């Protein structure tokens, strides 16, 4: 007779998607309580968290979720990661269509980055079409990066782990945050077709020097001259750092979302107007540093300010040192933990390792059963030198794929 392991207990809503991802990868049941329990107006799970649970249910088979009446407690029992395999809730063509509600305030990267962590360990390729009035492809005031930065600064990192075939992120319809930062009406398709048994052990100890800067300036439903103004201002700041700077310009019409009226039930309205800039700096050793700024939903900020702010944000990210930018820390360290039973090492900036999200990730990994990290100072004379993090892989890998 086998006895099931007791659930791992967490509290609070922070790091919610990564806790569910770690639970799914390791097969451990998690019990999360006190989810906004002190909020007098909106206790319990938010719309974007419920939507993430629905997304998780569509790419797994056998997952069970028990949510309390107030939504402040959830018990999640993970199933097998099936991806877009037959019988996993797919629509025509093996593509899962996931619709986000209109009240969503989080950018699409909130869903994409955790989902990409599950994709290499699934039984079949993951093909998902994100649609609906709540899809925001730009960066958001809540701190989410844009879809462009996920495509150019997060997905290429999987090359370091031997995951590089048939990975594509297509922006079919752009959108900035709508009124009050809610909804956008964009459309994005993710294709992740490279499944592995175990990620390779990573040793990344040299940040290198910045050799090129690339970026995307986008305008949604507004004049395309905003792109040129953002690019010119950003290049004025960055050319002294790296002459090889090229920023693409993308103009698109504003998306239409249903807005039925009593006299016209089929009426639609434009939403998600605005502009923004995404920049990525690549070093000589393949390290990527990103920055994202978009116009605020209430408007009133000129494109020159957006361009300058994004350029200085990129310089600040590079100045933190190390081999990984703050938005990519969770991806790199999680893949290292799930890899083969060997010690991998990565050099991270001191400010990045001391970030609240990184510390919380370390605590969650320790609770889930992963060995603790080994920390030591990198070779350097100054006190602000980087930190070398040693991670022991758990060798969990892909249970649905037995050969490499």
Q: Which residues of 293-325 are buried (b: 16+ CB within 10 A; e: fewer)?
A: bbbebeeeeebeebbbbbbebbbebbebbbbbb
More confident site: 389 or 402: 389
Instruction: Note the pLDDT of residue 269.
Output: 82
Q: How far apart are CA 86 and CA 83, in angstroms?
A: 9
What pLDDT is stored for residue 2 in this prediction?
Answer: 44
- Percent with pLDDT over 90 in the chain: 59
Predicted local confidence at residue 401, as pLDDT? 55
3-state secondary structure of 353: helix
- How confident is the model at residue 264, as a pLDDT? 81
Q: Cα 98 to chain center, whole Å?
A: 16
Q: What interhelical angle do 329-338 and 16-26 show, nearest 10?
A: 10
Q: Is the dihedral of CA 298, 302, 305, 310 positive or negative?
A: positive
8-state DSSP, 355: S
Q: Residue 95 pLDDT more than 80?
A: yes
Output b/e per residue, 195-207; b: 16+ Cβ within 10 A. bbebbbbbebeeb
Residue with tokens 């029992």: 77
* Residue at token pair 């319990």: 44
Q: Three-state SS for 131?
A: strand
Burial of 377 (0-12, 13-18, 19+ CB in 10 A): exposed
- Give 235-264 pLDDT, tens digit per residue: 999 998 888 999 999 999 988 887 777 788
Handedness of CA 194, 200, 202, 208 (dihedral sign): negative
| Per-residue confidence (pLDDT) for residue 256, from 0 to 100 | 83
Sheet holding 126-131, edge to edge: 96-99, 126-131, 187-192, 167-173
- CB within 8 Å of 223: residues ≥ 6 apart: none
* Residues 306 and 293 sit within 8 Å (Cβ to Cβ): yes
Mean pLDDT, the chain, rounded, equals 88
Please give the Cα distance from 272 to 183 (Å, whole number).
Answer: 7
Query: How far apart (Å, rounded) are the C-alpha atoms in residues 150 and 161?
Result: 17
Pairing mode of beta strands 343-348, 203-204: parallel
Read off the pLDDT of residues 332-360 as tens digits, 9 standing for 90 and up.
Answer: 999 999 888 889 999 999 999 999 999 99
Confidence at 89, pLDDT banded by 50, 70, 90: very low
Is a pLDDT exceeding 80 seen at residue 383? no
Tell me which of 163-167, 211-215, 228-232, 305-309 is least confident.
163-167
Which residue from 334, 294, 314 is spatially nearest to 157, judged by alpha carbons?
334
Task: Compute the average pLDDT of residues 192-219.
Answer: 90
Measured CA distances, 49 to 23, 103, 104, 288, 392 (Å): 16, 12, 10, 28, 30
- Please report where in the chains the tokens 């100045």 appear, as a residue: 319
In this structure, of 243-252, 272-281, 388-397, the range with the lowest mean pLDDT score is 388-397
Query: By the 8 A CB rule, do 83 and 116 touch?
Result: no
CA 272, chain centre distance (Å)? 20
Tokens of 251: 């103009």
pLDDT higher than threshold 70 for residue 400:
no
Q: Which residue has the higher pLDDT, 401 or 40?
A: 40
pLDDT band at 265 (very low <50, low <70, confident <90, very high): confident
Percent of the chain with pLDDT over 70: 94
**Which H/E stretch holds residue 288?**
strand 288-294
Is it the case that residue 57 has pLDDT exceeding 50?
A: yes
Using an 8 Å Cβ cutoff, are 183 and 140 in contact?
no
For residue range 132-141, list pLDDT tens digits in order: 889 999 999 8
Rounded to whole angstroms, how far apart are CA atoms 162 and 333? 15
Identify the pLDDT of residue 380: 61
Q: How many CB atoms lie within 10 A of CB 284?
A: 12
Pairing of strands 245-252, 210-220: parallel
DSSP structure string for 142-199: TSPPPHHHIIIIIGGGGGGGT--SSEEEEEEE-----GGG-----EEEEEE----SSP
Q: Which domains does the chain have, with CATH numbers?
A: 8-204 (3.65.10.20), 210-320 (3.30.360.20)
- Maximal C-alpha separation, the chain: 73
Residue 314 confidence (pLDDT) above 80: yes
What does residue 351 show for φ and ψ, rounded to 5 degrees?
Answer: -70, -30
Q: Distance between CA 174 and CA 154 in Å, rounded?
A: 19
152-190 pLDDT, tens per residue?
Answer: 999 999 999 989 888 999 999 999 998 888 888 899 999
């Amino acid at each position: 007779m086998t006895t099931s392991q007791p659930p791992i207990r967490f509290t609070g809503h922070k790091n919610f998607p990564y806790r569910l991802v770690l639970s799914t990868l390791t097969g451990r049941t998690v019990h999360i309580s006190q989810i906004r329990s002190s909020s007098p107006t909106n206790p319990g799970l938010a719309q974007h968290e419920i939507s993430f649970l629905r997304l998780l249910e569509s790419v797994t088979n056998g997952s069970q979720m028990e949510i309390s009446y107030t939504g402040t407690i959830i018990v999640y029992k993970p199933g097998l990661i099936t991806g877009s395999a037959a019988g996993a809730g797919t629509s025509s063509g093996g593509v899962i269509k996931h619709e986000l509600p209109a009240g969503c305030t989080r950018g699409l990267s909130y869903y994409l980055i955790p989902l990409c962590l599950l994709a290499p360990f699934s039984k079949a390729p993951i093909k998902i079409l994100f649609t609906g009035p709540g899809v925001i492809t730009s960066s958001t005031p809540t701190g989410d990066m844009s879809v462009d930065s996920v495509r150019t600064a997060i997905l290429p990192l999987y090359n370091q782990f031997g995951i590089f075939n048939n990975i594509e992120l297509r922006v079919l319809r752009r959108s900035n945050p709508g009124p009050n930062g809610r909804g956008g009406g964009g459309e994005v398709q993710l294709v992740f077709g490279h499944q592995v048994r175990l990620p390779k052990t990573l040793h990344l100890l040299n940040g290198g020097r910045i050799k090129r800067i690339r970026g995307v300036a986008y305008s949604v439903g507004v004049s395309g001259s905003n792109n040129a103004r953002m690019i010119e201002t950003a290049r004025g700041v960055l050319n002294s750092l790296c002459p090889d700077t090229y920023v693409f310009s993308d103009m698109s019409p504003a998306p239409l979302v249903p807005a039925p009226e009593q006299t016209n039930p089929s009426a639609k309205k434009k939403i998600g107007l605005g502009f923004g800039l995404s920049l990525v700096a690549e070093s000589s050793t393949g390290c990527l540093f990103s920055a994202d700024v978009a116009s605020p939903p209430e408007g009133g900020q000129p494109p020159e300010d957006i361009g300058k702010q994004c350029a200085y944000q990129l310089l600040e990210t590079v100045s933190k040192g190390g081999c990984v930018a703050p938005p990519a820390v969770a991806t790199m360290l999680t893949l290292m933990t799930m890899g083969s039973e060997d010690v991998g090492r990565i050099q991270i900036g001191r400010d990045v390792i001391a970030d609240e999200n990184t510390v919380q990730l370390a605590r969650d990994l320790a609770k889930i059963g992963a060995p603790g990290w080994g920390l030591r100072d990198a070779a350097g004379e100054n006190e602000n030198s980087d930190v070398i993090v040693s991670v022991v892989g758990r060798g969990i890998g892909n249970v649905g794929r037995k050969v490499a």
